[in-house]
A and B are shown apart, each in its own frame.
Chain A
Amino acid sequence: MDFGLSEEQRLLDATLRRLLEEKLPLARVRQVSAESEDGVDEAAWRALAELGVVGCLIPEKQGGSAGTLLDAVVVATALGHGCAPLPFLGSAVLAPILFDALGSPAQQDEWLPRLAAGRARVAVALSECVERRDDAGLRLEAGRLHGSARFVVDSAGADVFLAPAGAACFLLPASAPGLELRPMPTIDRSRRLSELTFDGVAADEPLAGDAAPGEVAAAIARALDAARVVLAADIVGSCDRALELSVAYALTREQFGRKIGSFQAVKHICAEMAAALEPARSLLWYAAHAFDALPAEAALSATLCKAHLSEVGRDLLRSATEVHGGIGFTDECDLQLWFKRVGLDRQLLGGPERLYAHAAELQHLSS
């Protein structure tokens, strides 16, 4: 019985945080968000790759470190804490899981080593598997794709896309004729989302061309579980930072001749944040471990985890903003970066209501 991060995971966390502080100070985060075309700090991404964390879910024979989802959670928590403009969810979580589950040996050998080295980026179009807008979605007609895929995370600057359509999942180069990438500006500038439009794009390279029926759907469901846990980890890291900033501010700012942190009205808000966050962190670790080792629990705990963290994150960032008072409402105050980051994490790939409904289905509680 040992419920918690291992010595190695803590070391990874400390190393990563040092690296992020050095490579991605907030001034740099703001600069990348404002000026960069694809919203990614390439140098920091390479540095992460050298540390082995970009390949944390990639097998060793393809240059990865063959880690667990709990390792990925350690990374994602640190990236959330640093508001890092890096394509971790797309290129280090979703794409490796799908290549690993569905890719042919040739596809795996072509893409996984490059992903692990941070030299290729792959974005996965999954939103339509979660909630499809009336006018969105992909149609496969005579070997060609039509329609659109929205809210594709980490898509700006991707080399290839993975897009499920029908019973298959297709590998599509960004340069494919008829494929267009339209930026979808969101509140959060630290990760870039796009709409992919398909105007008769040749769908000639499926992953798992010979996969058994249901295998693609199962792999996508599993990738979604992982993505939800990783988004929840991003929320936990963001909440950690928001709470740190709040406590620090409450211990500095004076009104009525006292530090505002000595007023119970303020310090109880901070206590509530910590009280909500710590059990939620325990749930996060459990959901990651369930994904790695408890197949029967994996889907339900990932679903409940993402739903709960979305609620905790929203409340916590609102409270943190209130602790900061008027300054918390300004662009200059760094806190707003995480307010927005959590805002995106909450909605992406299923918000609380959708996920609670899904949790009920998984337990056969729905009619």
Chain B
Amino acid sequence: MELEYSADHEAFRRMLRAFLENNRARAPRMRTFASGVVDPALLGWQKLLIEHGYAARGVPREYGGAGADPDPLIATIIAEEFAQARLSRGVSGQGLDMLVPTLLEHGSEEQKRRYVPPTVRGEMLWCQGYSEPGAGSDLASLRTRGRVEGDTLVMDGQKIWTSTAQFAQMMFALVRTEADAPKHAGISYVLVPMDTPGITVRPLKTMTGEAEFNEVFFDAVRVPLENLVGKRGEGWKIANTTLRHERNMLGSASTSVKLFESARSTMRENRVDGRPALENPVLRGRLMALQAKTLAMKCHAMRLLTCQLRGEAAGVAGLVTKLNGCQLNFDLAGLAIDALGEAGILYRGGAQSSEATRWQFHYMFQLGLIIGGGTAQIQKNIIAERGLGMPREPRPAVPDPDAR
């Protein structure tokens, strides 16, 4: 057991810290795509970060990245120091996080040259077209069709839960190209320009009151066949390499640590009857119980990082972060609301309290994350089946009339 970093890694940390201090003024404000207008300050910041190897670090130089060897510890230090300094990490989003790794692994040379550099620079925004109204947990039952006509793919159907679709220039999508193939084998991975005629984007307002997502409709949308990534029918396999990536991002310990600290501040600062909420032993006990869980998730992240460094399989321990982390975040928001008492119910539009608004937003949004990116129930299936070796639910004996 050794929680210190090596001298080389600590030297890297000092260099990064100095860089952040010296360049603080050049950093853009901490929002990325909220407006849809590409922020020149963000693009300049991204360029600077790539030059220094602090962004797109593992992306090869020929595709616009920093071209460094992968080192999970360096990645951790970068995440820690930017969070500590409260500075933008540059361009983020599903393009850089999910599409770029997919293209680097499965894309053609032409696709890599065409799409990776502008995505890495932050000039090309992407959205992810996976979920459909009828294909959520059972994603492989998706029905958006891609009919091949000569060298063109003609798409019809609908996607849902598409964040940033209203701003994105491109979508990476899963479509059913082989109607007669078994469910998982009939899917292809395709890159779709969002300005193609026949695409309609409609905002999807959630319970928070904001449209964090969209619905996207495809009506005879024509995309060149060369936009397929990998071969026809290989889309499921290709998408799965990045889905695993998404599950690891949801429920990360750093989010829980921030929420815990913020909840503790709320309980310190919010006074009822002249005393802070923290002095209420029941609320304080709840905070301590969540502190233990937060610390456990922080330690768990170090353990999983170590597995990665040692090249060991994490086993069932590697499958539990999303389930635990999202539930913990939800509970932290719930505690903060309770600590605020009646003030905890305030929401937008009033003059009184922006703090309650923030916690109510977290409370709802974290519930959304318990469901999104693989529901808690799907996570439990994964933990039981892959982690504990328990059997899958038997398939129904009666054939589904809609089955393809």
Contacts and interface: CB of A to CB of B under 8 A. Distances in A.
Interface string B355-395: 00000000000000000000001011101110111111110
Contacts of A5: 1
Interface in B306-322: 306-307, 309-310, 316-317, 320
Given A1-B2, A1-B73, A274-B383, A279 B299 contact: yes
Contacts of B388: 243, 247, 267, 270-271, 274
Interface stretch (B125-133, B278-286, B341-349): B278-286
A357 B285 contact: yes
A104 to B, nearest CB: 32
Interface size bracket, B side:
35 or more
B31 interface: no
Contacts of A366: 279, 284
Contacts of B316: 274, 278
B384 A267 contact: yes
A286 B295 contact: yes
Contact of B303 (A4, A70, A264, A275): A4
Nearest to B5: A1
Nearest to A267: B384
Interface residues of A, number: 52
Interface in A246-299: 247, 250-251, 258-259, 261-264, 267-268, 270-272, 274-276, 278-283, 285-286, 289, 292-294
Majority secondary structure of chain B interface residues (helix, strand, loop or mixed): helix
Given A250-B390, A267-B381, A365-B278, A301 B288 contact: no
A280 to B, nearest CB: 6
Contacts of A367: 275, 279
Nearest to A278: B317
A42 interface: no
A282 B307 contact: no
Interface string B285-312: 1011101110111011011011101100
B306 A308 contact: no
Contact of A264 (B299, B309, B381): B381
Contacts of B390: 247, 250-251, 261-262, 267, 270
A292 to B, nearest CB: 8
Contacts of B310: 2, 4
Contacts of B5: 1
Contacts of A280: 296
Interface in B40-90: 73
A281 B314 CA distance: 13
A367 B384 CA distance: 44
Given A4-B307, A268-B377, 17 more contacts: A4-B303, A251-B389, A261-B391, A274-B388, A275-B320, A278-B320, A279-B293, A282-B299, A289-B3, A304-B292, A305-B292, A307-B288, A359-B288, A359-B291, A360-B284, A360-B288, A367-B279
Interface of A: 1-6, 70, 243, 247, 250-251, 258-259, 261-264, 267-268, 270-272, 274-276, 278-283, 285-286, 289, 292-294, 301, 304-305, 307-308, 311, 352-353, 356-357, 359-360, 365-367
A-B complex: 8 closest residue pairs judged by Cβ atoms: A356-B288, A308-B292, A271-B380, A283-B296, A3-B302, A282-B299, A271-B383, A304-B292
21 contacts: A70-B1, A259-B391, A261-B384, A264-B381, A264-B393, A268-B384, A270-B384, A271-B379, A271-B381, A271-B383, A274-B320, A278-B300, A279-B299, A283-B296, A304-B292, A307-B289, A357-B281, A359-B291, A360-B285, A360-B288, A366-B279
